[in-house]
Amino acid sequence: MNSQESEDYKVVIIGAGNGGLVAAARLALAGIKVLLIEQHNLPGGFASSFVRGRFEFETSLHELADFGSVSNPGGIRVLFNKLGVDAEFLEVPEAYRIITKDLDVTMPFGIENFLNEIEKQVPGCRESVENFFKIAQEISNAFAYIGKSKGNPDQTILIKEHSNFLKTASYSTLEVEEALGIPKKAQDILNAYWAYLGLPMNRINFTLFAAMVNTYIKRGAYIPKYRSTEFTLALDKRIRELGGEIMYNTRVEKILVEKGRVVGVETSNGDKINTNYVISNSSQTLVYNNLIHPKSEVPEIAYKEVNARIHGLSALVVYLGLNASAEELGINEYSYFIMEDMDTANLYDQWKELRVPKGQATVCLNVAIPDCSPPGTSIIYITTLFKPEVWKDVKPEDYVDIKNRIADGLITDFENALGISIRDYIEEIEVATPETFARYTRTYNGIVYGYEPESWDSLIPRLMMMGEHNYIKGLEFAGGFGRRCHGYSSALKDGEIAALLVLNKLKVKVRVRSD
């Protein structure tokens, strides 16, 4: 297509991240003529991989929730099966090992196994933690009902059958755990996943946190055998097989709007593409501030909404290719949460300063995928978080020294926590910062999470109000800034929601093609 040509599409999707890819595949599956436009030369966004020397590193995924086994499939496995996505996933062996100055505990998957272990670590806590999981399951059941109701649940049914879902919806996790009488040490063990949401326990919405923990512990966690690139390329392939089109190395510069309705997009190649429906895998902040054309078409309420929301966190990741095996190094678990303590409010505040945070989430890929690197080697990646504005005053001449200093501190903390040494075995090292993520994905300030999911802006309000926040006709959003909040599984599911909303507006009967 050259700048003199234009072709109509029923739907144009901006961005081939997790949400955009699933939205495109779901629409193509329904027979919709769809065009996916991506600025990079590969799909995935953060869901990708890169190679340094002998090692192929996973860019950002630690573990995928709600995938499940063949015999007990989770929502993501069901979604991929529905879309016809062909990718191999392997099960993570344990839930996590949490290490603080007062704790060193490895927790298993499986509700009963988890309860047995936490009771062993904190005698007398079992009943209170079991009640946590009972409420978490009720929340999961309520979400399943809301999904079946297509966003229009019967309040009477919610009150009658899912009362605890409603009772806990506006409370923080800390408030509910204390009301349940969960002892502090048991809370510290139970709350290890908190960094996946990027808010301290006194601010993480209980509904969101409980649903996440229940999903992980009940169904386990999985990772793609050949990194996230495997399933994002599989989605690319499936979109094309279903008749969808993908345009790489191309940015959408403008979403064209007339009289409050989408009429097309304009790309960096000079193409003007006619469409009445756009799904953006980019944030509402970016779209309303930069993409809508003319700007006069952005309603004031849209600006008010995005200005009220809090942008989430960015990350610093240390990717290590080691010329020794995990066994040789004494690394026996896949997932490590290493914190100075579980004062999560204090740890969150540390992410507002340009220093080595005393909290990290670290993965050794070989424990789940033994052959992910050559024999006698291993892959580790250490992740910590930062408020993105912390990096805004870093001078170019200081940048490398600062990121290397932080990386060095994180490596030291990992070695000290496990009582091992890995420095002498580093063959490849790469350090990614918020600047890296901003450059790679063009995300605002390098944010890797979406909007912070406090109770007023968490899962339930977003799902219940998803039909009320469409300020421009024909414009939808998908991905980590969307209704399901951030995280791989959430972004993938949100892509399907966006597609189904558009199909409903197109009055297309949802169907599954036989091919």
pLDDT for 4 = 36
The dotted CATH code for 11-71+76-85+226-310+453-505 is: 3.50.50.60
Question: Residue 183, preceding bond cis, omega within 30 degrees?
Answer: no
Q: What is the pLDDT of residues 368-390, one digit of tens each?
A: 999 999 999 999 999 999 999 99
pLDDT at 3: 37
Q: How confident is the model at residue 29 (pLDDT cuts 50, 70, 90)?
A: very high
CA distance 483 to 486: 9
| pLDDT over 70 (residue 225) | yes
Which residues does residue 402 pair with via DSSP β-bridges, in sequence order? none
CATH second-level architecture of 313-444?
A: 2-Layer Sandwich (3.30)
Write out the two tokens for 261: 């309705």
- In this predicted structure, the answer to whether residue 115 has a pLDDT above a threshold of 60 is yes
Q: Compute the average pLDDT of residues 221-235.
A: 98
DSSP state of 508: P
- Tell me the residue length of the chain: 515
The residue ranking higher by pLDDT, 139 or 159, is 139
- pLDDT at residue 61 greater than cutoff 60: yes
Question: What mean pLDDT is predicted for residues 126-144?
Answer: 93
**pLDDT more than 70, % of the chain:** 96
Q: Where does the pLDDT of residue 151 fall: very low under 50, low under 70, confident under 90, or very high at 90 and above?
A: low
Report if pTM > 0.75: yes
At 483 the pLDDT is: 86
Q: Where are the domains of the chain?
A: 11-71+76-85+226-310+453-505, 111-216, 313-444
pLDDT band at 461 (very low <50, low <70, confident <90, very high): confident
Region for residue 110 given its phi and psi (left: phi exceeds 0; alpha: psi -120 to 50; beta: otherwise): left
Q: Which of 70-74, 175-179, 460-464 has the lowest mean pLDDT?
A: 460-464
Query: What tens digit of pLDDT does each residue of 386-414 get?
Result: 999 999 999 999 999 999 999 999 999 99
Beta strands in 326-485 (DSSP E): 335-339, 359-364, 378-386, 426-432, 475-477
Percent helix, strand, coil in the chain, to 5, is: 40, 20, 40
* Strand pairing category for 378-386 and 359-364: antiparallel
Res 161 pLDDT > 90: no
Confidence (pLDDT) at 231 = 98
Question: Percent of the chain beyond pLDDT 90?
Answer: 84
Q: For the beta carbon of residue 157, count every other beta carbon within 10 angstroms.
A: 12
| Cβ neighbours, 10 Å, residue 188 | 23
Tens-digit pLDDT profile for residues 70-80: 999 999 999 99
Residue 160 has pLDDT above 90, yes or no: no
Model confidence at 7, pLDDT cuts 50, 70, 90, reads low
- In this prediction, residue 465 carries a pLDDT of 73
Give the model's pLDDT for residue 137. Answer: 95
Mean pLDDT of 284-300: 96
User: Looking at per-residue confidence, does 6 or 396 come out higher?
Assistant: 396
pLDDT band at 509 (very low <50, low <70, confident <90, very high): low
- Residue 459 banded pLDDT, cuts 50, 70, 90: confident
Locate tokens 């008010």: which residue? 304
Question: If we measure between CA atoms, which residue out of 73, 470, 417, 67 comes closest to residue 299?
Answer: 470
Residue 418 has pLDDT above 90, yes or no: yes
Mean pLDDT of all residues in the chain?
Answer: 93
pLDDT in tens, 240-268: 999 999 999 999 999 999 999 999 999 99
Contact between 125 and 118 (Cβ < 8 Å): yes
Q: What is the pLDDT of residue 513?
A: 45
